[in-house]
Protein backbone atom coordinates (compact mmCIF):
# COMPACT_ATOMS: atom_id res chain seq x y z
CA UNK A 1 0.00 0.00 0.00
CA UNK A 2 2.91 2.38 0.67
CA UNK A 3 4.15 1.73 -2.87
CA UNK A 4 0.74 2.42 -4.39
CA UNK A 5 0.38 5.60 -2.35
CA UNK A 6 3.78 6.79 -3.55
CA UNK A 7 2.79 6.19 -7.17
CA UNK A 8 -0.55 7.95 -6.69
CA UNK A 9 1.29 10.99 -5.35
CA UNK A 10 3.45 11.00 -8.49
CA UNK A 11 0.67 10.67 -11.06
CA UNK A 12 0.00 14.39 -11.49
CA UNK A 13 3.62 15.10 -12.40
CA UNK A 14 3.92 11.97 -14.53
CA UNK A 15 0.84 12.90 -16.57
CA UNK A 16 2.16 16.44 -17.03
CA UNK A 17 5.48 15.07 -18.29
CA UNK A 18 3.63 12.71 -20.62
CA UNK A 19 1.78 15.71 -22.10
CA UNK A 20 5.06 17.57 -22.61
CA UNK A 21 6.58 14.61 -24.39
CA UNK A 22 3.50 13.89 -26.51
CA UNK A 23 3.38 17.46 -27.81
CA UNK A 24 6.66 16.85 -29.63
CA UNK A 25 6.11 15.40 -33.15
CA UNK A 26 9.12 13.09 -32.90
CA UNK A 27 8.62 11.28 -36.23
CA UNK A 28 11.86 9.70 -37.42
CA UNK A 29 10.60 8.75 -40.91
CA UNK A 30 12.28 10.21 -44.01
CA UNK A 31 10.72 13.48 -45.09
CA UNK A 32 9.94 14.67 -41.57
CA UNK A 33 12.09 17.25 -39.74
CA UNK A 34 14.80 15.92 -37.45
CA UNK A 35 14.56 18.77 -34.93
CA UNK A 36 11.50 17.42 -33.03
CA UNK A 37 13.18 14.01 -32.68
CA UNK A 38 16.19 15.67 -31.07
CA UNK A 39 13.86 17.78 -28.90
CA UNK A 40 12.23 14.63 -27.53
CA UNK A 41 15.68 13.15 -26.91
CA UNK A 42 16.79 16.21 -24.97
CA UNK A 43 13.62 16.32 -22.87
CA UNK A 44 14.05 12.68 -21.86
CA UNK A 45 17.67 13.24 -20.91
CA UNK A 46 16.49 16.08 -18.66
CA UNK A 47 13.75 13.91 -17.12
CA UNK A 48 16.05 10.94 -16.51
CA UNK A 49 18.65 13.10 -14.80
CA UNK A 50 15.90 14.64 -12.73
CA UNK A 51 14.76 11.16 -11.70
CA UNK A 52 18.17 10.43 -10.22
CA UNK A 53 19.98 8.64 -13.05
CA UNK A 54 23.64 9.57 -12.47
CA UNK A 55 25.00 8.40 -15.84
CA UNK A 56 23.19 9.40 -19.03
CA UNK A 57 24.99 9.03 -22.35
CA UNK A 58 24.18 9.56 -26.01
CA UNK A 59 24.93 6.80 -28.52
CA UNK A 60 25.25 7.94 -32.13
CA UNK A 61 25.11 5.31 -34.87
CA UNK A 62 25.13 5.88 -38.66
CA UNK A 63 21.85 7.18 -40.08
CA UNK A 64 20.08 6.70 -36.75
CA UNK A 65 18.42 9.00 -34.25
CA UNK A 66 20.44 9.23 -31.02
CA UNK A 67 20.03 6.45 -28.47
CA UNK A 68 19.78 7.37 -24.80
CA UNK A 69 21.77 5.11 -22.49
CA UNK A 70 21.61 5.48 -18.71
CA UNK A 71 22.88 3.56 -15.70
CA UNK A 72 22.17 3.34 -11.99
CA UNK A 73 24.68 1.03 -10.27
CA UNK A 74 23.37 -1.89 -8.20
CA UNK A 75 22.84 -0.96 -4.53
CA UNK A 76 24.90 -3.99 -3.44
CA UNK A 77 27.41 -6.18 -5.33
CA UNK A 78 25.02 -9.14 -5.35
CA UNK A 79 21.91 -7.24 -6.51
CA UNK A 80 20.61 -8.00 -10.02
CA UNK A 81 20.59 -5.53 -12.89
CA UNK A 82 17.45 -4.81 -14.93
CA UNK A 83 17.55 -3.20 -18.39
CA UNK A 84 14.59 -0.94 -19.25
CA UNK A 85 13.76 -0.33 -22.92
CA UNK A 86 11.46 2.11 -24.70
CA UNK A 87 11.46 4.42 -27.74
CA UNK A 88 10.71 8.11 -28.08
CA UNK A 89 9.94 8.24 -31.81
CA UNK A 90 6.36 7.89 -33.06
CA UNK A 91 4.41 6.93 -36.15
CA UNK A 92 3.29 9.68 -38.56
CA UNK A 93 -0.26 10.81 -37.76
CA UNK A 94 -1.68 9.82 -41.15
CA UNK A 95 -4.86 11.52 -42.35
CA UNK A 96 -5.38 14.21 -39.71
CA UNK A 97 -9.03 14.65 -40.76
CA UNK A 98 -9.71 11.28 -39.07
CA UNK A 99 -8.51 12.57 -35.70
CA UNK A 100 -11.01 13.94 -33.17
CA UNK A 101 -8.35 16.43 -32.03
CA UNK A 102 -4.98 17.53 -33.43
CA UNK A 103 -2.58 14.57 -33.14
CA UNK A 104 0.14 16.47 -31.33
CA UNK A 105 -2.13 18.36 -28.94
CA UNK A 106 -2.72 15.92 -26.04
CA UNK A 107 -6.45 16.07 -25.39
CA UNK A 108 -8.47 14.62 -22.47
CA UNK A 109 -10.69 11.69 -23.40
CA UNK A 110 -14.43 12.15 -23.43
CA UNK A 111 -16.64 9.85 -21.35
CA UNK A 112 -16.05 8.03 -18.09
CA UNK A 113 -12.43 6.92 -18.55
CA UNK A 114 -9.68 9.42 -17.79
CA UNK A 115 -6.79 9.58 -20.23
CA UNK A 116 -5.22 11.46 -23.12
CA UNK A 117 -5.41 11.24 -26.90
CA UNK A 118 -2.37 12.04 -29.08
CA UNK A 119 -0.04 10.38 -31.56
CA UNK A 120 2.58 8.32 -29.74
CA UNK A 121 1.05 8.85 -26.32
CA UNK A 122 0.65 5.08 -25.91
CA UNK A 123 3.30 3.85 -28.35
CA UNK A 124 5.65 4.41 -26.74
CA UNK A 125 5.77 7.55 -24.63
CA UNK A 126 3.48 6.22 -21.88
CA UNK A 127 5.91 3.36 -21.29
CA UNK A 128 8.90 5.68 -21.02
CA UNK A 129 6.96 7.68 -18.43
CA UNK A 130 6.21 4.41 -16.59
CA UNK A 131 9.96 3.76 -16.34
CA UNK A 132 10.42 7.28 -14.97
CA UNK A 133 7.59 6.69 -12.50
CA UNK A 134 9.30 3.61 -11.11
CA UNK A 135 12.58 5.50 -10.70
CA UNK A 136 10.83 8.40 -8.97
CA UNK A 137 8.94 6.04 -6.66
CA UNK A 138 12.32 4.91 -5.31
CA UNK A 139 13.85 8.37 -5.31
CA UNK A 140 16.33 7.27 -7.97
CA UNK A 141 17.60 4.42 -5.77
CA UNK A 142 15.75 1.25 -6.76
CA UNK A 143 16.68 -2.10 -5.13
CA UNK A 144 18.30 -3.30 -8.39
CA UNK A 145 20.89 -1.95 -10.77
CA UNK A 146 19.29 -0.22 -13.76
CA UNK A 147 20.33 0.14 -17.39
CA UNK A 148 18.12 2.39 -19.50
CA UNK A 149 17.92 2.16 -23.29
CA UNK A 150 15.59 4.60 -25.07
CA UNK A 151 15.96 4.81 -28.84
CA UNK A 152 14.57 7.26 -31.36
CA UNK A 153 13.97 5.27 -34.53
CA UNK A 154 12.09 2.08 -33.61
CA UNK A 155 9.07 2.80 -35.78
CA UNK A 156 11.11 3.18 -38.96
CA UNK A 157 13.96 0.83 -38.12
CA UNK A 158 17.66 1.54 -37.81
CA UNK A 159 21.16 0.18 -37.39
CA UNK A 160 20.55 0.01 -33.64
CA UNK A 161 18.53 -3.20 -34.07
CA UNK A 162 21.74 -5.14 -34.67
CA UNK A 163 24.07 -3.10 -32.47
CA UNK A 164 23.76 -4.60 -28.95
CA UNK A 165 25.68 -7.87 -29.67
CA UNK A 166 28.65 -5.75 -30.77
CA UNK A 167 28.79 -4.09 -27.32
CA UNK A 168 27.65 -6.84 -24.91
CA UNK A 169 29.19 -5.36 -21.76
CA UNK A 170 27.06 -2.24 -22.09
CA UNK A 171 23.84 -4.28 -22.34
CA UNK A 172 24.71 -7.06 -19.86
CA UNK A 173 21.89 -7.59 -17.38
CA UNK A 174 19.96 -10.26 -15.52
CA UNK A 175 16.51 -9.29 -16.78
CA UNK A 176 15.09 -6.75 -19.20
CA UNK A 177 11.70 -5.08 -19.39
CA UNK A 178 10.79 -4.33 -23.00
CA UNK A 179 8.08 -1.71 -22.55
CA UNK A 180 6.78 -1.44 -26.11
CA UNK A 181 3.62 -3.44 -25.50
CA UNK A 182 0.77 -3.61 -23.04
CA UNK A 183 -2.39 -5.38 -21.97
CA UNK A 184 -4.75 -7.47 -24.06
CA UNK A 185 -7.54 -5.19 -22.90
CA UNK A 186 -7.80 -2.47 -20.20
CA UNK A 187 -7.82 -4.00 -16.75
CA UNK A 188 -6.30 -7.32 -17.85
CA UNK A 189 -2.63 -7.52 -16.75
CA UNK A 190 -0.73 -9.14 -19.59
CA UNK A 191 2.70 -10.57 -20.27
CA UNK A 192 3.56 -10.97 -23.95
CA UNK A 193 5.66 -14.09 -24.36
CA UNK A 194 6.17 -14.35 -28.13
CA UNK A 195 6.55 -12.15 -31.21
CA UNK A 196 5.93 -13.25 -34.77
CA UNK A 197 8.71 -12.68 -37.29
CA UNK A 198 8.24 -10.52 -40.38
CA UNK A 199 9.59 -10.27 -43.90
CA UNK A 200 8.74 -8.60 -47.21
CA UNK A 201 8.68 -9.84 -50.78
CA UNK A 202 8.04 -7.94 -54.03
CA UNK A 203 6.50 -9.74 -57.01
CA UNK A 204 6.23 -8.10 -60.43
CA UNK A 205 5.06 -8.94 -63.95
CA UNK A 206 5.99 -7.44 -67.34
CA UNK A 207 4.02 -8.78 -70.33
CA UNK A 208 3.97 -5.98 -72.97
CA UNK A 209 6.24 -3.14 -74.01
CA UNK A 210 3.41 -0.67 -73.35
CA UNK A 211 -0.40 -0.60 -72.97
CA UNK A 212 -2.43 -1.89 -75.91
CA UNK A 213 -6.08 -1.22 -76.85
CA UNK A 214 -8.25 -3.69 -74.92
CA UNK A 215 -10.69 -4.06 -77.81
CA UNK A 216 -8.09 -4.81 -80.45
CA UNK A 217 -5.69 -6.85 -78.32
CA UNK A 218 -7.65 -8.05 -75.28
CA UNK A 219 -8.29 -11.79 -75.23
CA UNK A 220 -4.89 -12.75 -76.57
CA UNK A 221 -2.41 -10.14 -75.30
CA UNK A 222 -1.31 -11.18 -71.78
CA UNK A 223 -2.65 -8.79 -69.12
CA UNK A 224 0.04 -8.26 -66.45
CA UNK A 225 -2.46 -7.36 -63.76
CA UNK A 226 -4.52 -10.49 -64.37
CA UNK A 227 -1.34 -12.57 -64.21
CA UNK A 228 -0.39 -10.97 -60.89
CA UNK A 229 -3.86 -11.37 -59.40
CA UNK A 230 -3.95 -15.04 -60.34
CA UNK A 231 -0.60 -15.54 -58.61
CA UNK A 232 -1.70 -13.68 -55.47
CA UNK A 233 -4.87 -15.77 -55.30
CA UNK A 234 -2.78 -18.91 -54.74
CA UNK A 235 -1.41 -17.63 -51.43
CA UNK A 236 -4.58 -18.56 -49.51
CA UNK A 237 -7.03 -21.44 -49.61
CA UNK A 238 -10.83 -21.17 -49.78
CA UNK A 239 -11.03 -20.54 -46.02
CA UNK A 240 -8.49 -17.72 -46.09
CA UNK A 241 -5.71 -19.78 -44.49
CA UNK A 242 -2.19 -19.32 -45.89
CA UNK A 243 -1.56 -22.01 -48.52
CA UNK A 244 2.23 -21.66 -48.82
CA UNK A 245 3.89 -24.95 -47.87
CA UNK A 246 6.47 -25.02 -45.09
CA UNK A 247 5.19 -22.07 -43.06
CA UNK A 248 4.85 -23.19 -39.46
CA UNK A 249 1.49 -23.12 -37.67
CA UNK A 250 0.58 -24.36 -34.20
CA UNK A 251 -2.31 -24.27 -31.75
CA UNK A 252 -2.44 -21.36 -29.29
CA UNK A 253 -3.30 -22.25 -25.68
CA UNK A 254 -2.96 -18.84 -24.02
CA UNK A 255 -5.40 -15.97 -23.61
CA UNK A 256 -6.89 -14.34 -26.70
CA UNK A 257 -9.58 -11.93 -27.87
CA UNK A 258 -13.21 -12.81 -28.17
CA UNK A 259 -14.44 -12.62 -31.77
CA UNK A 260 -16.59 -9.57 -30.93
CA UNK A 261 -13.58 -7.79 -29.41
CA UNK A 262 -11.46 -8.52 -32.42
CA UNK A 263 -14.13 -7.41 -34.89
CA UNK A 264 -14.41 -4.10 -33.04
CA UNK A 265 -10.62 -3.65 -32.79
CA UNK A 266 -10.08 -4.39 -36.47
CA UNK A 267 -13.09 -2.34 -37.58
CA UNK A 268 -14.56 -5.25 -39.53
CA UNK A 269 -17.66 -4.11 -41.45
CA UNK A 270 -20.94 -5.66 -40.30
CA UNK A 271 -21.77 -8.80 -42.23
CA UNK A 272 -18.19 -9.43 -43.37
CA UNK A 273 -16.74 -12.68 -41.94
CA UNK A 274 -13.26 -13.08 -40.48
CA UNK A 275 -10.84 -15.02 -42.67
CA UNK A 276 -9.07 -18.25 -41.82
CA UNK A 277 -9.83 -21.16 -39.54
CA UNK A 278 -8.76 -22.16 -36.05
CA UNK A 279 -8.58 -20.00 -32.93
CA UNK A 280 -7.88 -16.30 -33.15
CA UNK A 281 -4.63 -16.82 -31.24
CA UNK A 282 -3.52 -19.34 -33.85
CA UNK A 283 -4.43 -17.07 -36.75
CA UNK A 284 -2.85 -13.97 -35.22
CA UNK A 285 0.18 -15.26 -33.31
CA UNK A 286 1.29 -18.84 -34.01
CA UNK A 287 0.28 -19.14 -37.64
CA UNK A 288 1.44 -17.31 -40.77
CA UNK A 289 -0.26 -14.30 -42.32
CA UNK A 290 0.36 -12.83 -45.78
CA UNK A 291 -0.87 -9.33 -46.56
CA UNK A 292 -0.70 -7.40 -49.83
CA UNK A 293 0.54 -4.08 -48.46
CA UNK A 294 1.09 -2.34 -51.82
CA UNK A 295 -0.05 -2.68 -55.41
CA UNK A 296 1.21 -0.84 -58.49
CA UNK A 297 -1.43 -0.91 -61.22
CA UNK A 298 -3.51 1.66 -63.10
CA UNK A 299 -5.93 3.52 -60.86
CA UNK A 300 -9.67 3.28 -61.48
CA UNK A 301 -10.30 7.02 -61.78
CA UNK A 302 -7.98 7.48 -64.75
CA UNK A 303 -8.24 3.97 -66.22
CA UNK A 304 -7.89 3.61 -69.99
CA UNK A 305 -9.36 0.84 -72.12
CA UNK A 306 -6.03 -0.90 -72.46
CA UNK A 307 -4.37 -4.19 -71.63
CA UNK A 308 -2.07 -3.58 -68.64
CA UNK A 309 1.61 -4.22 -69.50
CA UNK A 310 3.11 -4.12 -65.97
CA UNK A 311 1.98 -4.73 -62.40
CA UNK A 312 3.76 -5.11 -59.07
CA UNK A 313 2.79 -6.02 -55.50
CA UNK A 314 4.58 -5.85 -52.15
CA UNK A 315 3.79 -8.63 -49.69
CA UNK A 316 4.25 -8.70 -45.92
CA UNK A 317 4.65 -12.13 -44.32
CA UNK A 318 4.30 -12.72 -40.58
CA UNK A 319 5.49 -16.10 -39.37
CA UNK A 320 5.76 -18.34 -36.32
CA UNK A 321 8.07 -17.05 -33.54
CA UNK A 322 10.31 -20.13 -33.82
CA UNK A 323 10.62 -20.25 -37.61
CA UNK A 324 13.87 -19.03 -39.12
CA UNK A 325 13.33 -15.72 -40.87
CA UNK A 326 15.20 -16.59 -44.06
CA UNK A 327 13.53 -19.98 -44.26
CA UNK A 328 10.08 -18.41 -43.99
CA UNK A 329 10.89 -15.82 -46.63
CA UNK A 330 12.35 -18.48 -48.92
CA UNK A 331 9.17 -20.54 -48.64
CA UNK A 332 7.14 -17.61 -49.95
CA UNK A 333 9.69 -16.76 -52.65
CA UNK A 334 9.84 -20.37 -53.84
CA UNK A 335 6.06 -20.61 -53.94
CA UNK A 336 5.80 -17.53 -56.16
CA UNK A 337 8.70 -18.49 -58.42
CA UNK A 338 7.09 -21.90 -59.03
CA UNK A 339 4.05 -20.22 -60.58
CA UNK A 340 3.56 -19.40 -64.25
CA UNK A 341 0.04 -17.94 -64.46
CA UNK A 342 -1.14 -18.22 -68.09
CA UNK A 343 2.40 -19.37 -68.86
CA UNK A 344 3.97 -16.09 -67.66
CA UNK A 345 6.97 -16.10 -65.29
CA UNK A 346 7.05 -13.77 -62.27
CA UNK A 347 9.96 -11.70 -61.02
CA UNK A 348 10.21 -12.22 -57.25
CA UNK A 349 12.55 -10.12 -55.07
CA UNK A 350 13.04 -10.82 -51.35
CA UNK A 351 13.20 -7.78 -49.08
CA UNK A 352 13.84 -7.14 -45.40
CA UNK A 353 13.46 -9.85 -42.78
CA UNK A 354 13.12 -9.77 -38.99
CA UNK A 355 13.12 -12.84 -36.74
CA UNK A 356 10.44 -13.69 -34.23
CA UNK A 357 11.04 -14.27 -30.54
CA UNK A 358 9.69 -16.47 -27.76
CA UNK A 359 10.61 -15.92 -24.11
CA UNK A 360 11.30 -18.56 -21.48
CA UNK A 361 8.78 -17.97 -18.70
CA UNK A 362 9.93 -20.14 -15.80
CA UNK A 363 12.64 -18.00 -14.19
CA UNK A 364 12.74 -15.69 -11.17
CA UNK A 365 12.08 -12.54 -13.19
CA UNK A 366 8.84 -14.00 -14.53
CA UNK A 367 7.81 -15.08 -11.04
CA UNK A 368 8.48 -11.54 -9.82
CA UNK A 369 6.58 -10.04 -12.77
CA UNK A 370 3.52 -12.22 -12.20
CA UNK A 371 3.44 -11.19 -8.54
CA UNK A 372 3.92 -7.52 -9.46
CA UNK A 373 1.16 -7.48 -12.09
CA UNK A 374 -1.24 -9.11 -9.64
CA UNK A 375 -0.33 -6.51 -7.03
CA UNK A 376 -1.02 -3.69 -9.48
CA UNK A 377 -4.24 -4.94 -11.08
CA UNK A 378 -5.58 -7.28 -8.41
CA UNK A 379 -5.77 -10.28 -10.74
CA UNK A 380 -3.47 -12.89 -12.25
CA UNK A 381 -1.60 -11.99 -15.43
CA UNK A 382 -2.64 -13.37 -18.80
CA UNK A 383 -0.11 -14.68 -21.31
CA UNK A 384 -0.44 -13.61 -24.95
CA UNK A 385 1.67 -13.33 -28.07
CA UNK A 386 1.64 -10.60 -30.68
CA UNK A 387 1.67 -10.56 -34.44
CA UNK A 388 3.89 -7.50 -34.46
CA UNK A 389 7.66 -7.72 -34.28
CA UNK A 390 10.24 -5.81 -32.25
CA UNK A 391 13.57 -6.53 -34.02
CA UNK A 392 15.69 -5.07 -31.22
CA UNK A 393 14.51 -7.77 -28.80
CA UNK A 394 16.64 -10.33 -30.60
CA UNK A 395 19.65 -8.03 -30.58
CA UNK A 396 19.34 -7.43 -26.84
CA UNK A 397 18.80 -11.13 -26.17
CA UNK A 398 21.99 -11.96 -28.09
CA UNK A 399 23.92 -9.32 -26.13
CA UNK A 400 22.67 -10.70 -22.79
CA UNK A 401 21.89 -14.35 -23.52
CA UNK A 402 21.33 -15.28 -19.87
CA UNK A 403 18.81 -12.50 -19.21
CA UNK A 404 15.08 -13.07 -18.89
CA UNK A 405 13.06 -10.94 -21.29
CA UNK A 406 9.77 -9.46 -20.05
CA UNK A 407 7.36 -7.63 -22.34
CA UNK A 408 4.68 -5.53 -20.66
CA UNK A 409 3.64 -1.91 -20.44
CA UNK A 410 0.95 0.78 -20.31
CA UNK A 411 -0.50 0.30 -23.78
CA UNK A 412 -3.43 -1.98 -24.49
CA UNK A 413 -4.81 -3.51 -27.65
CA UNK A 414 -7.65 -0.99 -27.76
CA UNK A 415 -5.47 2.14 -27.66
CA UNK A 416 -5.41 2.71 -31.47
CA UNK A 417 -1.64 2.59 -31.80
CA UNK A 418 -0.55 3.39 -35.40
CA UNK A 419 -4.14 4.55 -36.04
CA UNK A 420 -6.09 7.80 -35.68
CA UNK A 421 -7.07 8.85 -32.15
CA UNK A 422 -4.36 6.93 -30.30
CA UNK A 423 -4.96 7.15 -26.56
CA UNK A 424 -3.74 6.01 -23.16
CA UNK A 425 -5.77 5.52 -19.98
CA UNK A 426 -4.42 7.00 -16.77
CA UNK A 427 -5.54 3.89 -14.89
CA UNK A 428 -3.34 1.70 -17.09
CA UNK A 429 -0.39 4.07 -16.76
CA UNK A 430 -0.77 4.17 -12.97
CA UNK A 431 -1.00 0.40 -12.65
CA UNK A 432 2.01 -0.07 -14.93
CA UNK A 433 4.11 2.20 -12.72
CA UNK A 434 2.99 0.20 -9.67
CA UNK A 435 3.79 -3.05 -11.46
CA UNK A 436 7.28 -1.90 -12.52
CA UNK A 437 8.06 -0.69 -8.99
CA UNK A 438 6.74 -3.90 -7.45
CA UNK A 439 8.65 -5.96 -10.01
CA UNK A 440 12.09 -4.59 -9.12
CA UNK A 441 11.30 -5.08 -5.41
CA UNK A 442 10.12 -8.68 -5.88
CA UNK A 443 12.97 -9.48 -8.25
CA UNK A 444 15.61 -8.09 -5.88
CA UNK A 445 14.16 -10.08 -2.97
CA UNK A 446 13.98 -13.31 -4.98
CA UNK A 447 17.40 -12.81 -6.50
CA UNK A 448 19.04 -12.35 -3.10
CA UNK A 449 17.52 -15.63 -1.91
CA UNK A 450 18.72 -17.69 -4.88
CA UNK A 451 22.14 -18.65 -6.21
CA UNK A 452 22.92 -16.36 -9.17
CA UNK A 453 24.31 -19.12 -11.37
CA UNK A 454 21.21 -21.26 -10.92
CA UNK A 455 19.10 -18.37 -12.16
CA UNK A 456 20.93 -18.05 -15.46
CA UNK A 457 22.02 -14.46 -14.74
CA UNK A 458 25.05 -13.14 -16.54
CA UNK A 459 26.74 -11.74 -13.46
CA UNK A 460 28.52 -9.34 -15.83
CA UNK A 461 26.39 -6.36 -14.86
CA UNK A 462 27.22 -6.27 -11.16
CA UNK A 463 30.00 -4.16 -9.73
For 160-175, how does the pLDDT look when each residue is reduced to its tens digit (9 = 90+)?
999 999 999 999 999 9
The DSSP secondary-structure symbol of 27 reads B
What DSSP character marks residue 390? -
Q: What's phi and psi for 364, nearest 5 deg?
A: -65, -30
Is residue 354 pLDDT above 80, yes or no?
A: yes
* Phi/psi of residue 20, nearest 5 degrees: -55, -45
Please tell me which residue in 17, 123, 151, 154 is annotated as part of the active site. Answer: 154
* Mean pLDDT value across residues 210-226: 97
Q: Is the pLDDT of residue 335 over 90?
A: yes
What CATH number was assigned to the domain covering residues 199-249+287-353?
3.30.70.360
Average pLDDT over residues 256-280: 94
For residues 81 and 172, what is the distance between their CA atoms, to the nearest angstrom? 8
How far is it, in rounded angstroms, from Cα 396 to Cα 398? 5
Domain 2-195+356-455 has CATH 3.40.630.10: yes
Q: Looking at 17, 71, 89, 151, which residue is catalytic?
A: 89
Q: Which of 366, 397, 393, 421 is nearest to 178 (CA)?
A: 393
Q: For 408-419, what is each residue's pLDDT tens digit?
A: 999 998 999 999
Residue 451's pLDDT band (cuts 50, 70, 90): low
**14 CB-contact burial (10 Å; exposed 0-12 / middle 13-18 / buried 19+):** buried
To the query of whether residue 89 is one of the catalytic residues in this protein, the response is yes
Active site residue 17: no
**Residue ranges of domains in the chain:** 2-195+356-455, 199-249+287-353
223 band by pLDDT with thresholds 50, 70 and 90: very high
Q: Are 232 and 335 in contact (CB under 8 A)?
A: no
What residues form DSSP beta bridges with 315?
201, 292
How far apart, in whole angstroms, are the C-alpha atoms of residue 458 and residue 401?
8
CA distance 457 to 402: 5
Burial 441-454 (b: 16+ CB within 10 A, else e): bbbbebbeeeebee
Residue 153 — very low, low, confident or very high, per pLDDT cuts 50/70/90?
A: very high
Amino acid sequence: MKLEAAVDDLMGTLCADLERLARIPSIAFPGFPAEPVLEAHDLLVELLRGAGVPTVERLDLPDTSPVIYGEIPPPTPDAPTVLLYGHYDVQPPGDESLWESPPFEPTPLEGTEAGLRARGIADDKSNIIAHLGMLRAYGGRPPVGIKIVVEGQEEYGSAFDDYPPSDPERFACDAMVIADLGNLRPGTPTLTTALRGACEVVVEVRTLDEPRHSGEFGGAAPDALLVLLKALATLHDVHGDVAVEGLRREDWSGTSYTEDEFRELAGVVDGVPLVGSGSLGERLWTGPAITVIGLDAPGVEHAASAVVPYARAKLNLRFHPHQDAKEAQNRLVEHLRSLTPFGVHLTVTPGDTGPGYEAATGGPAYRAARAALKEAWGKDASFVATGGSIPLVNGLAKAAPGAEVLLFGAQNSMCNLHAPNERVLFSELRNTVVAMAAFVREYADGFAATDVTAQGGTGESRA
